Amino acid sequence: MNKRFRRGLVVGKFAPLHRGHELLIGRALAECDDVVVISYQNPEIPGYPAALRQRWLTTRFPTARVLVLTDERLRRILPPSRPPVRIPPNDAAEIEDRRFCGWVCQQVLGVTVDAVFSSESYGDGFAAELTRYFRERQPDAAEVRHVMVDPARRQVPVSGTLLRADVHAHRHLLAPDVYASFVGRVCLLGGESTGKTTLAMALASELNTVWVPEYGRQVWTDKAGRLDLADMQHIGRVQVAREEDAALHANRFVFCDTTPLTTLFFSLHLFGRVEPALERLAEREYDLTVLCPPDFGFVQDGIRHGGSFRDEQHAWYLRQLAERGVPFVLAPGSLRERIGLVRAALPAEVSPRVPE
C-alpha cells in the first residue's frame, strides 16, 4: 500500500527519548516510505550525550535513518576540504535551526523531505522554511508539509523537562530499554560464603527491584567443576548480559551478585592467566561497589574451597579495588546492618549509562 509521503523528517533533542517522541516517530514511519530523525544540542544537556541518544533511537527505530550530531561528529562526516560547519546553539533563532536542518538533509544525507512531523505550532513555519531552502538548490523539490501529532499531549502527557526532574517517578513514560539507562548498577563483591547472595536478594526485595545471580556458580555446578579457559570469557559475557537484561525490569537499581572481576580472579586461580576480552569486561564500571567481608563463620555448601581461600579472595579484592581506583563500601555485620550500610550509600542520582 502506498504511503502518504515519500520521506518524513523528525527533529528533536530526545533528552530523554520518551513515549511522546515515540508516538511522533511512529506516526512518521506509518505515513512515510522513509524517515529521517535528526538530533542535536549545543551545548548538550548534561547526562544525555550523543552516543546515548543515538543508541536509544537506533534501538527503538531500526528502520529510520538516524543522525545524532555534535560538532565533532560533523567534522568526521564532512570531507576535510569542506568549510567547517557548527551546530546552532540552543538559543539560536528559529530560521538558523530550520536552515541547518535543511542543510543536513541535502548536504550531509543527500535527500530532501516532503513532510515534517511535530507536536508544536512552529511546525508550519519549519515546513515552509524547509521548502524554501530545498528549492533554492533544487527548484523542483516537493513542498514540505507539516503533520501535527498530539499537540495537546492528550495521548502522551509528557515533556522532557518533567522527566529530567524525576525520571523514576515517570518511568512509565519511557520504553524499558530507555529507562534501563537510568538504572543504577550495584555490584556485591566478596569471597566465598560472605553473604553476597543473601544481601543481593534482601536489597532487591526491600527496594522492590531485581537482582542478578552469579552465573559462574551455575556453570561450575553444571560442569561439575571441570571448567576450561574459554569458560571464563563466556561467564563474564553472560554475567554482563544478564545485568543488562535485569535493568529492563528494575526499579532505580539492579543488584549484581558478583561481577566479571570475580571471574578474572578465578581465571587466574584456575589457569594462571586471563584472556584480554575478560580483562576488558573486568573494567566494567558500577554506580556502587560493595565488598562483603569474611566476618562470620565459613559455611561449606559442597562446592566452596574453604575458609583460608575466602580470606585470600578478600585480600585480593582489597588490592584490586585499590589498584583500580574503585571506591567501595565495606559491608560487615548482620544482614540488617549490611542492608542499612548499602542503602545509606546508594547514590541519590545516577547518570544515564553511555554505551560501552
Per residue in 139-186, pLDDT tens?
999 999 999 999 998 999 988 999 999 999 999 999 999 999 999 999
Whether 351 maps to a domain, the answer reads no
Residues 50-62 pLDDT 10s: 999 999 999 999 9
Query: Domain boundary residue among 126, 142, 173?
Result: 173
Determine the pLDDT at residue 193: 80
| Any domain includes 356 | no
- For the record, the C-alpha cell of 299 comes out as 559455611
pLDDT confidence tier of residue 86, bands split at 50, 70 and 90: very high
249 and 152, same domain (yes or no): no
Residue 312 to residue 69: CA distance in whole angstroms:
49
Q: Is the model's pLDDT at 301 over the cut of 60?
A: no
192 and 256: one domain?
A: yes
Kindly report the CATH number assigned to the domain that includes residue 37.
3.40.50.620
pLDDT, average across residues 66-88? 92
Do 91 and 144 belong together in one domain?
A: yes
Of 168-172, 204-208, 279-283, 307-311, the least confident: 307-311
Q: Are residues 209 and 142 in the same domain?
A: no
CATH number of the domain encompassing residue 278: 3.40.50.300
pLDDT tens column, 257-278: 999 999 999 999 999 999 999 9
35 vs 19: CA distance, rounded Å: 18
Same domain as 93, residue 18: yes
pLDDT at 192: 86
Co-location of 322 and 201 in the same domain: yes
Q: What is the pLDDT of residue 305?
A: 62
Residue 248 is assigned to a structural domain of this protein: yes
Are 47 and 352 in contact by the 8 Å Cβ rule? The answer is yes
125 SS3 class: helix
Asked if residue 141 is part of any domain, the answer here is yes
Residue 216 contacts residue 235 (beta carbons within 8 Å)? yes
Return the pLDDT at 16.
96
Are 109 and 206 in a shared domain?
no
The pLDDT tens digits of the residues spanning 275-300 come to 999 999 999 999 999 999 998 765 66
Specify the pTM: 0.91
Binned at pLDDT 50, 70 and 90, residue 338 comes out as very high
Q: Which residue has the higher pLDDT, 80 or 304?
A: 80
The DSSP string of 288-299 is: EEEEE---S---
Q: What is the pLDDT of residue 2?
A: 82
* Structure confidence at residue 302 (pLDDT): 53
Q: What residue has cell string 522492590?
A: 208
83 or 117: which leads in pLDDT: 117
pLDDT > 70: percent of the chain: 96
Q: Which of 106, 138, 173 is the last residue of a domain?
A: 173
C-alpha cell at 233: 570469557
Q: SS3 breakdown of the chain: % helix, strand, coil, rounded to 5?
A: 45, 15, 40
- Given a contact cutoff of 8 angstroms between Cβ atoms, the answer to whether 262 and 237 are in contact is no
- Kindly state whether residues 140 and 225 are assigned to the same domain: no
What was the pLDDT predicted at 134? Answer: 97
Q: Do 191 and 165 fall within a single domain?
A: no
Q: Specify if 192 maps to a domain.
A: yes
- In the numeric block, the cell 549484581 is attached to 256
* Nearest-5° Cα angle at 16, 10 to 20: 55
Confidence of residue 312 (pLDDT cuts 50, 70, 90): very high
Of 173, 205, 238, the domain-final residue:
173
Indicate if 194 and 153 belong to the same structural domain.
no
Task: Find residue 37's DSSP bridge partners.
Answer: 10, 66
Residue 354 lies in a domain: no
Peptide bond just before 327 cis, omega within 30 deg: no
Query: Could you give the number of structural domains in the chain?
Result: 2
Same domain, 325 and 192: yes
Q: Are residues 237 and 292 in the same domain?
A: yes
- Determine phi and psi for 148, rounding to 5 degrees: -85, 130
Instruction: Determine, yes or no, domain membership for 353.
Output: no
DSSP character string of 163-229: HHH-TTTTGGGS-HHHHGGGPEEEEEEESTTSSHHHHHHHHHHHTT-EEE--HHHHHHHHTTT---H
Q: Which DSSP category does 15 fall into? A: T
Residue 260 lies in a domain: yes
Domain that holds residue 64: 5-173
Identity of the amino acid at 277: A
